[in-house]
Each structure stands twice: as C-alpha cells, then as structure tokens.
Amino acid sequence: MTKQKTWSARFESALNPAIAIFNASIGFDIELIEYDLTGSIAHAKMLAKTKIISDAEAQQLEFGLEQIRTEYQQGNFNPGVEAEDVHFAVERRLIEIVGDVGKKLHTARSRNDQVGTDIRLYLRAQIKQIQQQLRQFQTALLVHSENHVETLIPGYTHLQRAQPLSLAHHLLAYFQMAQRDVERLEDVYKRTNISPLGCGALAGTTFPIDREYSAELLGFDRLYENSLDGVSDRDFAIEFLCAASLIMVHLSRLSEEMILWASQEFNFITLKDTCATGSSIMPQKKNPDIPELVRGKTGRVFGHLQALLVIMKGLPLAYNKDLQEDKEGIFDGVKTVKACLEAMTILLQEGIEFKTARLAKAVAEDFSNATDVADYLASKDVPFREAYNLVGKVVKTSLATGKLLKDLTLEEWQQLHPAFEADIYDAIAPKQVVSARNSYGGTGFAQVHQAIAKAKSLLDT
Ligand code: ARG
C-alpha cells in the first residue's frame, strides 16, 4: 500500500493503516465519480467566470477532469484506499495530469459541499431512470388489462372470496399504485435538485463566487439558502428512500399475489419457463423465485430508510463524518428498486399467463354473488338489512345441501321472498355481477374501459 499521506503540515505522522481503511469511503463512493467530475468542471468554470482563476487554468482543469473520466470509463482509474475518498482520488490524479494548476481546483470549495453536490446529481439521474422503469411496469400491466377486461377473477377481503372482479380492474389497482410512485418521485426530485455547491465547509467562502452560475451549469433549480443546511441536509435522500420503500411495498404485494396465484391451491396463473425455477430435489416443482426474491428484497430498502433516519437523528450542525454512512444505503436502495422493477416488468411481459378457463370456473362456483341477491331484493324495496339476513339463511342451507345459489329453483327463491322473479338468475350470473358494479372507480366493464383509456393517456403524457 502506498503510504497514507498526512493531511497538512499540522500532522506529523501518517494514519494507522487499519484506521485508514476504516476511514475510507473510496470502496463505495467511486460510484459517484462521474458526478464528481461534472460537479468539479462546473466549479472550475465558475472560478474562471468570477476571475478567481484564469480562463486558461479552468480549461486545463477541465481537460484533466475529462481525461480522468475517460480513464475511468476505460477501466484505468482504480484508486486504492490511500486516496480515502473519490474526491481526494480525483484531485490527486488531476494534479498528476495537469500539474500545479490542479491544486487550484479546490479553491472556494470543501468536500462537504462537493459530496452534497455529487449525491444530489447522482440521485437526480436515478430518479429519472426509476420513473422510466415505472412507466414500463405500468405499460406491462396495461397490456394484460386490455386483454382481460372481461376475464373474471375472484375478489377477496380477508383472503376470503368476496365479490368477483374484472381481472383488468385488479391489475389496474397496481397501475394506480405505480402512478402515485411516479408522482411521489417527481416531488422528491424538486427537493433533490437544489445546489449546495458554494456552501463551503459550513459557512460559505471569502471568495467572490457565483453560486447561481455553477448551479445553472449543473441544471439545479435553485440554491440552498443557508450554508449550514446545504452541507448537512439529507432530507431529500430520506424522502427518496421513503418513495423507494413504497415502490417496494407495491411490488411486494403484487409478488405475494403472484405467488398465491401460481400455487396449486389457487392455480390462477401459469409461470413460464423463462421466469421460473426448479427444485434440485423435487422434479415436479416450478417455483416462483422471482416474485419471492422481490418480496424478500423489500426488507433491505426499508432497512436503508431506517438507517438513514437514525444517522440523521441527533446530528449537530453541520457536517459530521456520520454522513459518509448515507451512501451505501442510497446506492443499494437505488439498485434494489431498479432490479426489482426490471424483474417484475419482465415477469408481467413474458413470465405469466392467466388461466382463463380455471378463473371462469372459480367465479362460477362460489357464493361471491350473495351480495347481488341482497341488492336484488333491496332494489325491489326490501330493506337492505332484511334482505341481507334472508340471503345469509339461503347461503347456510345451500352450504348444507352442497348447492350454489344459481342451482336454487324459482320456487325455492319465492318461498324465501315473493319478490323473486325469473330474472334473479341473470342478476347473479358472474358477468352480470361484475358488469353491474358500474359506480365510479368500480369493477363494472364500462368503468374498466374508461379506466384503461385514462391510464393510456397518463402514459402518453
Ligand atoms: N467521504 C466523505 C463523505 O462521504 C466526504 C466528505 C468529507 N468531509 C470531511 N469534512 N471529512 O461524507
């Protein structure tokens, strides 16, 4: 290992090697290098604009920083632990490339505002990518929805059969969750896209810098108004992990349903070979590993949110080294959400097939039309609670005799209540039961068609 440098003339001996390793973040913050280079170029340009350095010097700095970018992209920039972090690693290499002028880059800047800038630039780009992925996920849901408006699926409350649904309506519930995720990220973006550059170590700087200019070069919407807040704020990262956690909640709920649907007990979907796995011992098995993994990965994203909240709680102003601990959780949160969105989108696109015959049988063979019998009577002026109690009795006797409601004769219906007429059979047929729930946002086919049209126009915007 190259000898650890001393900080400044103030230090007489190098860091203990184990402490150097403990202190270093280069092992993970190299992930920020492209953003660090971009941020430094903007800073150099600002220094030239304000005449703190000359134009020629700024050009040399930019040249050196771009060369480091190329070296990194070609796999030729691999700083070791003695560099401590990505910021020092870049500065050291810059000085090697451009000579003494490289030592001017850090004028009017601290690693505190630098790292804050980097992480915001990184997260900003990731938010856009995740929104894109959410759009693809929504599109995959929409394709199934369009194919399955009139495919019926049992609807559950308490995981007990409740009322039948249009399968499209069920899937569009996830579309709506994803829509909120897109919007939530849009909101997080607003508070991520604020420039801390120029806040210095904590108090600003004695140089006549132009924060507006560097912010504009980097595409930030506005500036942190307070330098202490600028260098120590990580609210945006917490908000991001919160939004990421909710995405994982949604993916995990869908995963859980897919796992149930693929079971022999439900048997609502077939898992295709390209997205399912086998067992090393049980030859008959086809396992839903993909949704299981997504469900399992949810925990780590929640964990990163919790960790960052705990890191921030009780931190005195301004920068404290605790903040170095923000990165790994953010990076892993981003990677996990992206990987899960990709996997779930592929699963929807090519990994599952709904067993429509089996679904049709399922909705025809239960009592999930019982509410409709009560509604039928209520529409004939029988008070709903009375109708509800009557139907409860029929269900009880039918369960005992092994009959379904559709199997009762008209006489049996009329013995129960004289208001029953021959149209009761239409009223309790599964298609009619679903189609009749035509209230706004309900599962009625007309509503579902409208919901699909709206969903499409959301994706077009
Ligand atoms: N590696 C540090 C981090 O990730 C960079 C900022 C260091 N600042 C400092 N004052 N030691 O937070």
- Centre of ligand 1 from the C-alpha of residue 87, in Å: 9
Are 34 and 69 in contact by the 8 Å Cβ rule? The answer is yes
pLDDT score, position 6? 58
Q: Who's near 73: CB < 8 A, 6+ residues apart? A: none
Atom 11 in ligand 1: which residue has the minimum CA distance?
A: 321
pLDDT score, position 348? 98
- Which parts of the chain have pLDDT scores under 70? 1-6
Domains of the chain: 17-107 (1.10.275.10), 112-361 (1.20.200.10), 365-460 (1.10.40.30)
Distance CA 200, CA 304 (A): 28
Q: Who's near 440: CB < 8 A, 6+ residues apart? A: 447
Q: Who's near 423: CB < 8 A, 6+ residues apart? A: none
- Centre of ligand 1 from the C-alpha of residue 19, in Å: 15
pLDDT score, position 1? 46
Cα dihedral angle (192, 198, 204, 209), rounded to 10 degrees?
-150
Give me the active site residues, please. 158, 279
Q: What is the pLDDT of residues 91-109, one digit of tens each?
A: 999 999 999 999 999 999 9
- Centre of ligand 1 from the C-alpha of residue 234, in Å: 14
- Centre of ligand 1 from the C-alpha of residue 20, in Å: 14
Atom 3 in ligand 1: which residue has the minimum CA distance?
A: 324
Q: Who's near 389: CB < 8 A, 6+ residues apart? A: none
- Centre of ligand 1 from the C-alpha of residue 212, in Å: 24
Q: What percent helix, strand, coil does the chain show, rounded to 5?
A: 65, 5, 30
Q: Which atom of ligand 1 is nearest to the CA of 84?
A: 1
Q: Which mutation among 7, 8, 35, 85 tests ligand 1's pocket best, with the greatest number of atoms within 8 A of CB?
A: 85
CB atoms within 10 A of CB 114: 26
What DSSP element (H or E) covers 53? none
List residues near ligand 1 (CB under 6 A): 25, 29, 85, 111-112, 115, 319, 321, 323-324
| CA 321 to the chain's CA centroid | 28
Sign of CA dihedral 242, 248, 251, 257: negative
Question: Which among 435, 299, 428, 317 is positioned nearest to 375, based on CA atoms?
Answer: 428
Atom 4 in ligand 1: which residue has the minimum CA distance?
A: 324
| CA 351 to the chain's CA centroid | 21
pLDDT score, position 4? 57
pLDDT score, position 249? 98
Q: Which mutation among 112, 234, 327 tests ligand 1's pocket best, with the greatest number of atoms within 8 A of CB?
A: 112
Distance CA 447, CA 441 (A): 6
Q: Which contacts qualify for 124-130: CB closer than 8 Å, 24 or more apart? A: 124/189, 124/192, 124/193, 125/35, 126/334, 126/338, 127/185, 127/188, 127/189, 127/192, 127/240, 128/189, 129/338, 130/185, 130/244, 130/247, 130/334, 130/337, 130/338, 130/341
DSSP string, 358-371: HHHHHHHTSSTTHH
Q: What is the pLDDT of residues 45-77, one digit of tens each?
A: 999 999 999 999 999 999 999 999 999 999 999
Q: What is the pLDDT of residues 227-257, one digit of tens each?
A: 999 999 999 999 999 999 999 999 999 999 9
Atom 10 in ligand 1: which residue has the minimum CA distance?
A: 112
pLDDT score, position 3? 55
Atom 7 in ligand 1: which residue has the minimum CA distance?
A: 111
- Centre of ligand 1 from the C-alpha of residue 111, in Å: 6
> Which residue carries 């997080």 as its tokens?
188
Distance CA 82, CA 190 (A): 36
Q: Which atom of ligand 1 is nearest to the CA of 25?
A: 1
pTM as predicted: 0.96
Q: Indicate the angle between helix axes 167-192 and 235-262, nearest 10 degrees.
A: 160
Q: Which mutation among 321, 326, 330, 331 tests ligand 1's pocket best, with the greatest number of atoms within 8 A of CB?
A: 321
What are phi and psi for residue 108, nearest 5 degrees? 60, 30
